[in-house]
Amino acid sequence: MRANSLALLSDSGHNFSDGLALLLSWYALRAAQKPATPTRTYGFHRIGILTALFNALTLVVIAVLIFIGAWHLIVHPEPVQGNLMIVVAAIGFALNTTIAVALRGEAKHDVNVRAAYVHMAGDALSSIGVVIAGIVIHFTGWRYADPLVSVLIGLFIIYNSWGIVQETINVLLEGAPLGMDVDALVHDIREIDGVDDVHDLHVWTIANNMNALSCHLNVAETTNGGAADVVANVKRLLFARNIPHSTIETECGGCGVDDVFCTLENHHNHDHSYDGHDHSDACGHTH
């Protein structure tokens, strides 16, 4: 490269990954609009989660490569053309800032778009760093400004991408939605009139702003046919807590199940006979 600058090369590599991130994000948004199928009953929403994870991990790899290159320049410094660094980085800053501003609004609601936004915003700030390094080199001749700015760019990239990595892995592991107090939710469900207890509860995120829950409710035997009303009240509570998709099974009291969260087992090596309780006739069993 004519400028012989690692910082500018790092910024260029980040720009290349930006283009890939935008392309993948566009594809994920299109794929999410496809309807569910018999083999993809949740639809294709998680393509966006996989895309966000891929984009974030790509940034981490780029940061590691930047660190390796920076170490090489610290040990073996080379002459750098500061003027060319300034011009090229300034152009990159203008382009990336424009795209980042366009993505900012949607990035608050979609982790896939947020990953692309981090790419663009990070590259815009990286370009500022390259401009500063170019100015320092031009006026002082201090070559270490180039690898120093490169390391700062790498640290910034990792800082901004790591949160996306954690968020997407949490979704793929069927973790509870980030920021949701599940214990408080269980407490509020138990406070609803007609609910004796709740168990076998699972709450997870399908994709962006698509939270789901399934559980078993022990309803008071006096409610009998009113179990459907109890379920409706619970669903209203869940909807208010940003859980629009829920599957609820009702049971009479006395089932003897105390665990709120059940431990799933691989039934391949177990007896396939059902040993649960059937209360459909006793208390208006509903789903």
| 3-class state of residue 43 by DSSP | coil
Give the per-residue pLDDT at 269: 53
Could you give the domains of the chain? Answer: 6-172 (1.20.1510.10), 182-264+271-283 (3.30.70.1350)
- Supply the pLDDT for residue 263: 61
Residue with tokens 């003897």: 256
Q: What is the pLDDT, as a whole number, of residue 272? A: 45
Return per-residue pLDDT of the chain as tens, 287 residues.
444 565 566 656 656 666 777 777 778 778 878 888 888 887 888 888 888 888 888 888 888 888 887 887 788 776 666 677 778 778 878 887 888 888 888 777 777 777 778 777 777 877 788 788 888 887 888 878 878 888 888 888 888 788 888 889 999 998 999 889 999 999 999 999 989 889 889 999 988 778 999 999 988 765 556 788 899 999 999 999 999 999 999 876 554 455 666 565 655 554 544 444 444 444 444 44
Say whether 200 sits in a helix, a strand or coil: strand
Residue 150 · residue 127 · CB < 8 Å: no
Measure the CA–CA gap between 18 and 103, rounded to whole angstroms: 12
For 282, the token pair is 């006793």
What pLDDT was estimated at residue 201? Answer: 92
Predicted local distance difference test score (pLDDT) of residue 23: 79
